[in-house]
Amino acid sequence: MLKKLVTIALFLGACLFTTVMSALAAPPVRIAVVCGGASGIEQEIVDRISNNLSSISDVVLSTVNPDWYVVCNVNESIDQASGAVRYNGSVITKTSKGHVINTVAVQKYNQDFSLTPGAPLNKKLVDNAARDVIASAADRVVHPLEQAIIVEMETRERIIKAETLADSDQYNEALSLLAPITPDTPHFKDVRDLMDEFAMEQDALDRMNSATAKASKGRYSEAISTLRDVNKKSKRYKAALGKIASYRAALARLRPQAKPMAKPQPKQT
């Protein structure tokens, strides 16, 4: 019976651990791959990129509340007189807030030298130029996009773990997790702001602990001086004010009471 209870307890513990770890897991990157215009060539690039991204487990393809946009643009220029065919394509990856993560630009130029006046351009020549720009744009964007997704997921996981550590007042550990994050991620500024917040809270925590230790030895003035520098933005600021008031009251109790002055006695004649 005992063995069965232990097995059940271990099973429940494993389930709880899995649930907690799942809750801490970073959400996938929501990406919308869209056309910049209304070109059929753009749509073919969209389809190729979407097909490549669909196999990545950390990606959800959706135009609803996306984290990133992958915008495909193709400009077509056909000069019937000279027989020149030119395609300029670009694929821009950016966040929903407009931060550009990556840009890929491609160009394809073909010339129909067999063109006679009034004759249409060689259809195969035009089609080849279109196919080349589609393949080039779709292929060139895949690797940098995959790398950006890896950086994004690593950054999200570090932020989530750091915030969890900070909730337990483990600020130094949280700072160590965030320190390696580089400007390669669009979250860099937010991460730096978060690091400043954690450093402030660590300082406040250190001051609270130091003041408590000093007060326990009767060094109330030093404790008060230590607490005065707790940042007003810290979640411990109100607690620090409370301790300052308490230590001032303790100091007042330690001061010797002044003896009342004796009333002058009338002179005897």
Sheet holding 59-61, edge to edge: 59-61, 29-35, 68-79, 84-95, 100-111
Determine the pLDDT at residue 78.
72
Nearest residue to 76 via CA among 1, 20, 23, 126: 126
Determine the pLDDT at residue 189.
95
The SS3 of residue 36 is coil
Domains and CATH numbers, the chain: 29-157 (3.30.160), 199-254 (no CATH)
Determine the pLDDT at residue 264.
58
Type and span of the H or E element at 60: strand 59-61
Across the 269 residues of the chain, what is the mean pLDDT of every consecutive 10-residue run? 45 41 75 89 92 94 96 82 76 94 86 60 69 88 94 96 97 97 93 97 97 95 96 97 95 71 56
Determine the pLDDT at residue 81.
61
Determine the pLDDT at residue 7.
46
Determine the pLDDT at residue 17.
36
**Residue 88, by phi and psi: left (phi above 0), alpha (psi -120 to 50) or beta?**
beta
Type and span of the H or E element at 20: helix 2-24
Nearest residue to 154 via CA among 113, 129, 185: 185
Query: What is the rounded distance in angstroms from the CA atom of residue 61 to the CA atom of residue 32?
Result: 6
pTM of the model: 0.74
Query: CB count, 10 Å around CB of 267?
Result: 5
